[in-house]
Structure 1
Amino acid sequence: MSGAVRNLILTGGIGHPFADAAPALEEILAGAGVVSTVTDDIEGGLAALDQGGFDLLTVYALRWRMLGSEKYAPHRERWAFSLSPDGRGRLWNFVTGGGGLLGLHTALICFDDWPDWKDLLGGAWVWGRSAHPPRGPVTLVPTDRPHPLTAGLPPFTVTDEAYGDFDLAGDVRPLALVAPDGGRAWPALWARDAGLGRVVADTLGHDRASLEHPVHRQILTRAALWACRRPL
């Protein structure tokens, strides 16, 4: 394959500066020849996949049903979300049919009433169990498993949210770990096949500063290219 990678970034949600961070992600990936379309219209964005032309789908959003706590009440009308059957089919078919998927940070929390999302992404937030400490310094440490995404990269520390106690698919082999509050280490980066497609999940990336850390930038650009089977 040759030419620019066409990427669709699905974004938007509460508690995160997506309006600033998603354009930063777009700029970072542009440096690797990835041309992105950014939207917070999840269903409309996925419908655009049917028109062809996209190589990569990036989920950098916080869109779920917002059940339970009333602290979400002011946000439900705008941001509460359940992915439609058509949307589920479009997303699943795009990736398993050969497209790339990059799930970043809050992607683990998205689409909470769609069990197949965990099977596709490789991990999913579990309400009532999964958690993260308050945002603060966290260190991502590559494992000793050889992979193009992490080859030659050192550990790095950023101010971020370190997710833990989430569900993982049985075939996930972590490429990097974080230890929330110095406790149990949890996978923070993995890469896997899904049908004919490739998937990368990166649980860091709360804001622009995290995305723009020099080592994190390398991971993100490598992830996009690897997911699309392009030279790194």
Structure 2
Amino acid sequence: MIGGLAFAQQPSAAPPKIAVLIVTGQNGHNWRGTTPLLRKILEDTGKFEVRVTEEFRGAGPETLAPYDLVVLNYFDRGRPELRWGEKTDSAFLDFVRSGKGVVVYHFSMAAFDGWTEYEKLSGGNWRPNNGHHSAPHNFVVEIKDQEHPITKGLKLSF
């Protein structure tokens, strides 16, 4: 009987948390209100360890090395003094090229006008004369898979 206990399965350790850096400090919207909310949403899942920086200019590869994901809640307002600078731009692009993640949150889609690489990696941009909100309208949301973790418990339509 004792020999059999040696083969009993040990509980597996929890997977390591995903290290997230939220880059904020400037935005066209209320970043002081949204940043803590973004942090809370991520941390409340139990899957993320989140840090926040309000000053990213001058950051290099060593700043990004500990992280798996960068969440941008940042907008440079078209002001050159709020741009990150070549060192940080390069470190950020290398971070993404290495396979790490980036979330371009809301108004960050309007950041860095003219920075082609950023425009490509963000997948879409808000630019003067080339971006707008759609007209307000009502619509119906129809759930196709009620068993999916995101939609579980929601009505079929609302």
Q: Per the alignment, in what secondary structure is the counterpart of residue 35 of structure 1?
A: strand
Which of 55, 66, 70 is the aligned partner of 2:68? 55
Is the 2:22–2:73 contact (alpha carbons within 8 Å) kept by the matching residues of 1? yes
1:106 maps to a residue whose letter is F
Change in 2 beyond 3 A, CA 1:6/1:122: same
1:61/1:141 Cα in 2 relative to 1: closer, same or farther (>3 Å)? farther
How many positions carry a matched residue from both structures? Answer: 140
Equivalent residue number for residue 120 of structure 1: 121
Q: How does 1:1-232 map to 2 (within 5 A)?
A: 2-32=15-45, 33-44=47-58, 46-47=59-60, 49-50=62-63, 52-66=65-79, 81-132=82-133
86-95 or 11-20, which moves further after superposition? 11-20
Cα shift at 1:82? 2.4
Relative to structure 1, the CA distance from residue 58 to residue 140 in structure 2 (aligned partners, 3 Å threshold; closer, same or farther) is farther
Ranked by relative contact order (alpha carbons within 8 Å, sequence separation 6 or more), the top structure is 1
Give a deviation string over 1:178-211, Cα, whole Å, max 9, x none.
xxxxxxxxxxxxxxxxxxxxxxxxxxxxxxxxxx
> For 1:28, what is the secondary structure of its paired residue?
helix
Specify which structure has the higher proportion of strand: 1
> Could you tell which deviates more after superposition, 23-32 or 46-55?
46-55
RMSD: 3.6
**What is aligned with 1:205?**
none
| Alpha-carbon distance between aligned partners in 1 of 2:139 and 2:157, rounded to the nearest angstrom | 5
Deviations 1:139-183 (A, max 9, x none): 795898xxx8967677999xxxxxxxxxxxxxxxxxxxxxxxxxx
> Secondary structure at the residue paired with 1:13?
coil
Identity %: 21
Matched residue type, 1:119:
K
| Residues 125 and 131 in structure 2, CA contact (< 8 A), matched pair in contact too | no
In 2, Cα distance between equivalents of 1:91 and 1:155: 41
Question: Unaligned 5+ residue runs, structure 1?
Answer: 67-75, 158-232
